[in-house]
């Protein structure tokens, strides 16, 4: 231990030196897309976050205190309520610098809604090796029906381990108004929420059968998400895979997502969000929005989807806004994407209306501008492979299609439908707007 403490400053100096050199080099490595923000500043922020998280893991590995939930009375037998044991274990880990909270492998821990609240001592890691399973008793959520597991107000946190988070959502889906039209529409819990936190690493987890959204990041900055496998039946309602709201400087990579709603959804207040190496399907695709609901003001910018494969999804890459809203969705890039039998491969919908009654025509709209579609290929399950349904009052501006080749699955030819859009085609583009 004395040797470890002696070496700690030396390792910290190495990490800080690496961070400084990486930051410097990234200033000279822009994305080569003339006419658009080069993304260099965004990439440098991501590299800074990586350095901070690497330093966190180094400090934790050298001076870690292990906190095992079993030591606080958790049974992990799949039937005993382990919520209070997890609360006690969290309090102990949160109070210890560089602590590792361990959820042992080959056990199934039954949990009611629980908040893991900060502030905590720096360098905290939650290592999920076993399974966390949500209570299926809906009365357990009477105080707050919108959350199950929530981490809030924490700086520098890693959640990892290869284990499983099971939302046990079937009972919620059966009571959804989207499944049973006779029932009133009510909230259902998000399985895993990160709220008002900074410098997060969430990696190598299986998240399945959420009550509603699987994992949500709200009001966070500096987020790294990698190696997640997110699954739920294709007919499960509102079960978005990864939901991002009012969150900045985020990188999602190497994730496999198949649910009953959007694989990734990015909504208002989000900026500098990148998704790469994403496998999506079943589901509703990768969406920005919806934005502007209830005449609200929404801003989203600096979104990059670079490297994705979508199969059998309802949509491919989509931007959706309600009429009557305001604000903007801008500086967006969809690049290097493969579509396989996707119903709406490329779609901008400024007349989005997700309600039973028809939406009234409105004069205002969220402005959509500076959107690049680059190197997108594959097949469309419908005749319309490209659809730009933009606002007459606020037409889509600066839309660029470059090297886009989408063919109709089976017989027939794919086509494009384009309304109220200022468009540029570069290279081979098929289908083209008339």
SS (H, E, C) 361-402: CCCCECEEEEEEEEEEEEEECCCEEEEEECCCCCCEEEEEEE
Half-sphere exposure of 387 (CA within 13 A, CB side): 22
- From 255, 382, 232, 249, select the one nearest 307 (Cα to Cα): 255
Sign of CA dihedral 44, 45, 50, 53: positive
Q: What is the CA radius of gyration of the chain?
A: 23
Contact predicate 98/126, CB 8 Å: no
Note whether 31 and 40 are within 8 A (CB). Answer: yes
End-to-end CA gap in the chain: 71
DSSP count for the chain of H helices, then E strands = 4, 28
What is the chain's length?
A: 434
Q: What angle do CA 232, 236, 240 make, to 5 degrees?
A: 65
CA distances from 139 to 149, 172, 188 (A): 16, 12, 12
The Cα–Cα gap between 216 and 190 comes to 7
CA dihedral over 100, 104, 105, 110, signed as positive or negative: negative
Contact 148, 192 (CB under 8 A): yes
∠ CA(208), CA(213), CA(219), 5° rounding? 125
For this structure, is 284 an active site residue?
A: yes
**CB distance 50 to 17 below 8 Å:** no
User: Which stretches within 138-270 are classed as H helix?
Assistant: 170-174
H helix intervals, 152-298: 170-174
**What b-and-e string marks burial along 262-286, b requiring 16 or more CB atoms within 10 Å of the CB?**
bbbbbbbbbbbbbbbbbbbbbbbbb
- Residue 316's closest CA among 373, 269, 391? 373
Contact predicate 51/25, CB 8 Å = no
| Catalytic residue numbers, as ranges | 284
């Amino acid at each position: 231990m004395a040797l470890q403490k002696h070496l700690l400053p030396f390792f910290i100096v190495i990490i800080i030196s690496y961070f400084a050199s990486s930051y410097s080099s990234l200033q000279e490595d822009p994305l080569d897309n003339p006419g658009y923000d080069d993304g260099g500043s965004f990439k440098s922020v991501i590299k800074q976050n990586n350095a901070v998280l690497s330093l966190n893991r180094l400090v934790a590995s050298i001076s870690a205190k292990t906190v095992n939930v079993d030591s606080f009375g958790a049974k992990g037998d799949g039937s005993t309520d382990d919520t209070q044991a997890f609360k006690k274990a969290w309090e102990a880990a949160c109070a210890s610098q560089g602590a590792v909270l361990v959820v042992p492998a080959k056990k199934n821990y039954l949990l009611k809604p629980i908040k893991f609240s900060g502030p905590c001592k720096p360098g905290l890691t939650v290592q999920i090796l076993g399974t966390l399973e949500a209570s299926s008793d809906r009365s357990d959520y009477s105080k707050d029906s919108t959350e199950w597991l929530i981490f809030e107000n924490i700086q520098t946190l890693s959640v990892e381990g290869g284990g499983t988070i099971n939302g046990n959502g079937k009972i919620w889906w059966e009571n959804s108004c989207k499944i049973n039209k006779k029932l009133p529409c009510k909230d259902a819990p998000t399985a895993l929420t990160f709220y008002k936190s900074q410098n997060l690493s969430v990696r190598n987890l299986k998240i399945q059968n959420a009550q509603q959204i699987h994992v949500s990041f709200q009001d966070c900055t500096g987020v790294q998400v990698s190696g997640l496998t997110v699954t739920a039946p294709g007919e499960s309602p509102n079960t978005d895979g990864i939901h991002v709201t009012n969150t900045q400087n985020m990188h999602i990579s190497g994730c496999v997502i198949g649910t009953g709603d959007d694989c990734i959804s990015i909504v208002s207040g989000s900026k500098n969000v990148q998704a790469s190496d994403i496998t999506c399907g079943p589901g509703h695709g990768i969406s920005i929005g919806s934005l502007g609901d209830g005449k609200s003001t929404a801003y989203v910018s600096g979104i990059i989807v670079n490297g994705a494969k979508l199969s059998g999804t309802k949509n491919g890459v989509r931007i959706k806004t309600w009429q009557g809203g305001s604000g903007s969705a801008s500086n967006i890039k969809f690049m290097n994407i493969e579509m396989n039998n996707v119903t709406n491969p490329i779609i901008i919908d400024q007349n989005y209306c997700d309600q039973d009654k028809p939406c009234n025509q409105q004069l205002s709209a969220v402005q959509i501008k500076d959107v690049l579609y680059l190197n997108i290929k594959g097949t469309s399950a419908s005749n319309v492979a490209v659809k730009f349904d933009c606002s007459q009052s606020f037409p889509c501006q600066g839309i660029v299609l470059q090297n886009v080749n989408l063919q109709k699955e089976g017989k027939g030819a794919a086509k494009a439908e384009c309304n109220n859009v200022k468009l540029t085609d570069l290279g081979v583009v098929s289908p083209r707007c008339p």
